[in-house]
Chain A
Amino acid sequence: MTDTMKHTLLFVFVGVMILLEGMTDVLFFSGSWNSALVILNMGLISAIMAIGVNIQWGFAGLFNVGIMGFTALGGLAVVLVSTPVIPEAWSSGGAGIVMALVMGALTVVAAVMITKFMPAGRLRALVLAVVMIAGFFVYRAIFDPSVSSVEAINPALQGNIGGLGLPVLLAWPAGGLLAAGAAWLIGKTALGLRSDYLAIATLGIAEIIIAVLKNEDWLSRGVKNVVGLPRPLPYEVDLQNDPSFVERAASWGLDPVTASTVYVKAGYALMFTVVLLALLWMAQMALKSPWGRMMRAIRDNETAAEAMGKDVTRRHLQIFVLGSAICGIAGAMMTTLDSQLTPGSYNPLRFTFLIWVMVIVGGSGNNFGAVLGGMLIWFFWIKVEPMGILLMELVTSGMAEGSALKAHLLESASHMRLFTMGLILLLVLRFSPRGLIPEK
């Protein structure tokens, strides 16, 4: 069997699994097209995230463990771009907040300038401390009252700065931009240090981003969540009330409720597939371009590349920003799909380390591998729970009814998910360390 055939079969396998999920309810399948499409949609988004990480790790060996943060920034972009404008928020405190943020930024810039241009010594440390502390208090003095006035506006529903009221699809590239901006800042600091500290920097920043989203109520309502975000597709209720849609559904032999949910989810699937294919195509083009060849040359021998006059840090920064932007886009897509932003639900196991499992299992350095890994691992992530319950029922079938162990085992079956992900990762790392679709 040739490699191409094997790889195609792997994709076919994932496809068949999702089809079976829709068609039959034997074993762990649910037999619901709705569920199949839900898996497919998040699988497509996961595949996009995996491409972003694969670009960083596969092409440049950058170990990013802050994927969660970039995804969350994408989500924030959806709120900031697509929710309606709240004029009162801007008139009462918006300007103050912007001014405070500018002040904060200026303080940081001033601090950087001082460290750069003043001779090292006690004086510099003193000036630096004074500027930083003064800057912080000025920032808080402007920031705090503005924030409380913004948060006071209709707190049950809004209490935040609102958005721009633009079409939600614009939020996807905006999410990419936001993530790229953050990545630039992180990369500039962490990659510029004498030896790079990217992993710990991204790990920390991701937590900070989530902390900001959870606490800065003026921005995205914090843990109160933003719900009912605008969506690019019609609402199911509207479809069900549309006579022509009901008629068409009837002609396929579907009831209106099922038809409308499937219609909307299929619509998302289509849009996500378009984005995925576009990004995949671009990633493939980039990989084959002189730029991609240079990236791989740097990866395989950094010293030689440096000797040839390549600015390695700059290239690394470039690719880090690009990869993070892709994660940001995926994050925006995910928030659009959920049509809500819930900062409390971001968890590094799910949003950072699971993506790593996808990349490693799929094949680091291969974009198709990343896509496969994204879809496959997501399928397992969802289906391991029913599989676990099935397994536990089998294991406990011989046990006495009402035994404590049996109850515990059945109850804990749902926790097998993390265990299984670890097992899959270890098995792949051991027996197929380059992943299912290895880099050529």
Chain B
Amino acid sequence: MSDNPYQDDHGNKDASITNLKGAGTMQPAHQKSGPTHKVDGGPFLIGDTMTGGYGKGPDILHDCTIAVDKGEIAVIVGPNGAGKSTAMKAVFGMLNVRSGTVRLDGEDITQLTPQDRVIKGMGFVPQTSNIFTSMTVEENLEMGAFIRTDDFRDTMEQVYDLFPILRDKRNQPAGELSGGQRQQVAVGRALMTKPKVLMLDEPTAGVSPIVMDELFDRIIEVARTGLPILMVEQNAKQALEIADKGYVLVQGRNAYTGTGKELLADPEVRKSFLGG
């Protein structure tokens, strides 16, 4: 039984009266945004010594620090259950950060809701359910640009230039695309806001190795435009190869930090996380 009596559905799953598909599962740390304030210096985006967990639950992150600077790709890797995705969600405001701060472009945004972080310039691509499956590719991109009041056709052209296959399939429902193409739609949707930083949660989960290589190529291409990218990856080796900065997390703590090359060269990291 749920603690909240309004959420007690007695296990009912009757499809003729309730629609559970596409219902929100997000549990943001704040329902309403708190104040922000200016801070000087530091990297472009940083989750600084964050400690916290979901709701009132136990702490999952312990003094964890993640940062990315302009023109960089930062990658978070680590074993299963290390809190990689959690760290990224903490930066995005989906986790109760009990101590530590999140700062973006010289502003402390720890108290903001995820929606307001999007408005501040964060582009977030969740790991699953990251596209509108019943809508066409083009509509997905339009929805990505929902908060923009200016003309976004240029941005859409840029996305199509970046992912040419999407231009061919622009009028097809996104749910009918292949796994790799869906991920391109998801990234494209996030790019439509013209974000200041792009956050990708396991963009290559569940796609074939060939598609994975292609996706990584695209991500590098995005980074070359100067957009900082923070990414969680299961495929540690490939990810670190393209990373300017790498974070190895273990049980919610920073275990190793360095450039991608350094980490790849570190025998400890190799032995423990990269399979020798």
Q: Which residues of A does B touch, CB under 8 Å? A: 57-58, 60-63, 195-201, 298-302, 364-365, 433-434, 439
Contacts and interface: CB of A to CB of B under 8 A. Distances in A.
A434 B5 contact: yes
Contacts, number: 47
Contact of A364 (B6, B10, B14): B10
A300 B3 CA distance: 12
Interface in B150-170: none
A195 B8 contact: no
Contact of A63 (B5, B8, B12): B12
B13 interface: yes
B272 interface: no
A365 B10 contact: yes
A433 B16 contact: no
B58 interface: no
Nearest to A429: B6
Interface residues of B, number: 13
B10 A58 contact: yes
Contacts of A58: 10
B1 interface: yes
B8 A197 contact: no
B10 A61 contact: yes
B9 interface: yes
Given A60-B11, A200-B17, A300-B11, 19 more contacts: A60-B10, A61-B12, A62-B14, A196-B15, A196-B16, A197-B14, A197-B15, A197-B16, A198-B14, A199-B14, A199-B17, A201-B16, A298-B11, A302-B11, A364-B10, A433-B5, A433-B8, A434-B5, A434-B8
Interface in B225-255: none
B13 A302 contact: yes
Residue of B1, B5, B11, B12 most packed against chain A (CB within 10 A): B11
Q: Which 4 A-B pairs have the closest CB atoms?
A: A61-B10, A200-B16, A61-B11, A195-B15
Nearest to B1: A300
Interface of B: 1, 5-6, 8-17
11 contacts: A57-B10, A63-B14, A195-B13, A197-B16, A198-B14, A199-B17, A200-B16, A200-B17, A299-B11, A302-B13, A439-B1
A315 B275 CA distance: 48
Contact of B6 (A197, A200, A302, A433): A433
A206 to B, nearest CB: 14
A439 B2 CA distance: 12
A162 to B, nearest CB: 38
Nearest to A365: B10
Contact of B12 (A62, A200, A433): A62
Nearest to B15: A195
A234 B11 CA distance: 47
A300 B15 CA distance: 18
Residue of A58, A299, A364 most packed against chain B (CB within 10 A): A299
B177 to A, nearest CB: 25
Contacts of A62: 12, 14
A420 to B, nearest CB: 23
A199 B15 CA distance: 9
Contacts of A302: 11, 13
A61 B9 contact: yes
B2 to A, nearest CB: 9
Contacts of A200: 16-17
B5 A196 contact: no
Nearest to A198: B14
Nearest to A305: B11
A78 B8 CA distance: 38
B11 A63 contact: no
Contacts of B5: 433-434
Contacts of B16: 196-201
A201 B8 CA distance: 23
Nearest to B17: A199
Nearest to A197: B16
Contacts of B8: 433-434
Residue of B1, B8, B9, B14 most packed against chain A (CB within 10 A): B14
Contact of B14 (A196, A301, A365): A196
B13 to A, nearest CB: 6
A201 B17 CA distance: 11
Nearest to B12: A61
B17 A63 contact: yes
Nearest to A191: B14
